[in-house]
Chains A and B, each alone.
Chain A
Amino acid sequence: MAKSDDGLRILQGLLVFGNVVIGMCGIALTAECIFFVSDPHGFYPLLEATENDDIYAAAWIGIFVGFALLALSILGIVGVIKSNRTLLLVYIILMLITYAFEMASCITAAAQRDFLTPNLFLKQMLEMYEKSDPDNSNDKGMTEGVTKTWNKLMLQNHCCGVEGPSDWQKYTSAFRITHSDADFPWPCNCCVMDAQGSPVNLDGCKLGVPGYYNSNGCYDAISGPMNTHAWGVAWFGFAILCWTFCVLLGTMFYWTRVEY
């Protein structure tokens, strides 16, 4: 009897430790998801225009799951120390619900990341950048968002187009309708700018002289932060869930051993 007493005391200790870790991970998850939702790189208009911003929904779910994990871990610690079957049962059921939500968030983040291919951004850029005749006010909002985001992106990252300035030559675009090919082989923001925000050498930029225009594409600048966002939500969530799985199994076993 003493031996199994010791065994259960160890289990109790482990469960308390497990719940402490869950609580801390919950705080970390909330913080991480708040960071992603705040959109520090300004890519949200691009995702909004794809009409599929599930990657942001996953981050929002992550915020609430983080809080829930923190609260439930405290409940779990109290339940384990008091060895109260009711508390532990409530804990287990609520944890399973939180588990399901977090699972949804991880899977959504991972699936949406696969959806955001270079071609998707290319088509969206060609369709919406500098579009002059939007269909309705919703379309207008999206095209303005896309145009502003691309302008900022091309200026800050010294890049042009998704794969390069040749995107504007290979395909027709809304930009091409209002800007003639001879005057603007590619948008003005693809030119190397001086401190005042005007091109260093406009003719050099139009000719495509290396050094006067941005010859590399912006896809790396977009995919880097987006990958961090998606994998941060998906894989950190996965790690938390694996740990939670062990703690929950331990709690269930502990529950069967507790005197009612």
Chain B
Amino acid sequence: HPHSRPRHPRARTMVPLLLLLLATAHGLVQLSDKPKLAGSNLGGLKTTSTFVLEQPRCVFKDYPITTEIWLVVAIPEAVPDFNNSVEPGTPERAFQEFPTRAHAYMTLNTTLLNYPCPKSPGEITVLRVGSETNCTKDMSRPTCNGPLPGPGPYQVKFLALNDSEPVAETSWSDPITLRTAQQYSSIPTTGNGHSASMIALTSILSILFAILLAGLVAMLVFWGSDACGSSGTFTKTEAVSVRRYNTHHVYEQTAARL
């Protein structure tokens, strides 16, 4: 009977305290927040080797300002049995070994001082994952925020550490797949045929040219068949051959008689 129910009044407040102690003893508070990509009007939201996340503002409330927030980037295979106790900077969590020997890496560490809550309106609060290019092969910088090695998919979460002990974490994000670039030689450049205006222009001009050539031929034929006599009614002012003069003379005489 003495172990069944605590009768002492102070014992009632002891139970929640005990539970809290148990929780902190296990070291981890699971927050329901999920990291998400930044607002979609950014042109470089996802490139072939980087992506942009929203900063975890107002996510780690009530934690001391000296808590270090780390970003964990992992391949989806490493998500189910991810060990939070592995310290950042070890080879198991080194960026340079990702994704072959290290299935996840930790980077972008900063204290809660840099994630003030609430955020000022109009401020763009983002984290660009993959922006550091000078330490991609530098083994002395395992927490390098280097460009991602492939299109993914990747899953991320934020982990809060206090004196290297994990105290809180967000949920894992939805899988993020980066862009893949197509080969430029695959761009089709064969034309879509000719436009209607070009066809109209060509056909009309060809018809007109054909008519002109036909006219020229007709003209030359006319000239050939009519070389001697003249049916032209347009006279020039200068005098021409004697025979013609006689003909006109005859006409004039006939006209004069009438």
Q: Which residues of A contact B (CB under 8 A)?
A: 1, 4-5, 8, 83, 92-93, 96, 99-100, 103, 106-107, 110-111, 113-115, 117, 119-120, 122-123, 126-127, 165-166, 169-173, 176, 180-183, 185, 203, 206-210, 213, 215, 234-235, 238, 241-242, 245, 248-249, 252, 255-260
Nearest CB in chain A: distance from B125 CB, A: 12
Chain A residue with Cβ nearest B182: A171
A256-B47 contact in complex given A99-B209, A119-B188, A238-B205, C-beta closer than 8 Å: no
Distance (Å) between the CB of A59 and the closest chain B CB?
A: 16
The answer to whether B212 touches A99, judged by C-beta atoms less than 8 angstroms apart, is yes
Q: Which residues of B contact A172 (CB under 8 A)?
A: 181-184
> Which of B132, B181, B188, B204 has the most chain A CB atoms closer than 10 A to its own CB?
B181
Contact B188 A208 (CB under 8 A): no
B130 x A182 contact (CB < 8 A)? yes
Residues of the A chain whose Cβ atoms lie less than 8 Å from the Cβ of B197 = 110
Determine whether the beta carbon of B44 is less than 8 Å from that of A207.
Answer: yes
Question: Is B35 in contact with chain A by the CB < 8 A criterion?
Answer: no
Known contacts A114-B195, A172-B183; is-contact A257 B201 (Cβ 8 Å): no
Most buried by A among B184, B209, B222: B184
B242 at the interface (CB under 8 A from A): no
Q: Name A82's closest neighbour in chain B (CB-CB).
A: B236
Contact of B47 among A83, A120, A185, A245 (CB under 8 A): A185
**Given A83-B236, A106-B201, 6 more pairs with CB closer than 8 A:** A123-B184, A171-B181, A173-B184, A207-B124, A235-B201, A252-B218
A107 touches which one: B48, B50, B184, B202 (CB < 8 A)?
Answer: B202
Check if B18 is an interface residue, CB within 8 A of chain A. no
Instruction: Give the docked Cα–Cα distance between A103 and B212 (Å).
Output: 13
Contacts of A203 in B (CB 8 A): 128
Q: Which of A185, A215, A238, A259 contacts B232 (CB 8 A)?
A: A259
Binding site for A on B (CB under 8 A): 41-45, 47-50, 52, 124, 126, 128, 130-133, 146-147, 179, 181-185, 187-189, 191-195, 197-198, 201-202, 204-206, 208-209, 211-213, 215-216, 218-219, 222-223, 230, 232-236, 240
Chain A: CB-nearest residue to B186: A171
Within the complex, the shortest CB–CB distance from B181 to chain A, in Å, comes to 5
Contact A114 B194 (CB under 8 A): yes
Measured CB to CB, the nearest residue on chain B to A121 is: B189
Residues of the B chain whose Cβ atoms lie less than 8 Å from the Cβ of A4:
233-234
B42 A181 Cβ-Cβ under 8 A: no
Residues of the B chain whose Cβ atoms lie less than 8 Å from the Cβ of A176: 181
A182 to chain B, nearest CB (A): 4
* CB–CB B219/A255 < 8 A: yes
B205 touches A208 (CB 8 A): no
Taking a contact as CB atoms under 8 Å apart, the answer to whether B44 and A208 are in contact is yes
Q: Contact check, B131 vs A259: say whether CB atoms are below 8 A apart.
A: no
Known contacts A110-B202, A207-B52: A245-B208 contact under CB 8 Å: yes
In contact, A258 and B234 (Cβ under 8 angstroms): yes
- The 4 closest A-B CB pairs, nearest first, are A208-B43, A208-B44, A126-B184, A182-B147
Contact indicator A117/B192 (Cβ below 8 Å): yes
CB distance from B42 to the nearest CB of A (A): 5
Q: Once the chains bind, are B187 and A210 in contact (CB under 8 Å)?
A: no
Task: Give chain A nearest CB distance to B154 CB in angstroms.
Answer: 15
Q: From residue A226, how far is it (CB to closest CB) to chain B in Å?
A: 14
Residue of A nearest to B128 (CB): A207
A113–B192 CA distance with the chains assembled, in angstroms: 12
The CA-CA distance from A183 to B222 in the complex, in Å, is: 79
Q: Is B189 a contact partner of A185 (Cβ separation < 8 A)? A: no
Q: Report the Cα distance A220→B26, complex, angstroms.
A: 62
Asked if A260 meets B230 with Cβ closer than 8 Å, knowing A106-B205, A110-B201, A171-B181, the reply is yes
In contact, B236 and A115 (Cβ under 8 angstroms): no
C-alpha spacing A249/B215, complex, angstroms: 7
A86 to chain B, nearest CB (A): 11
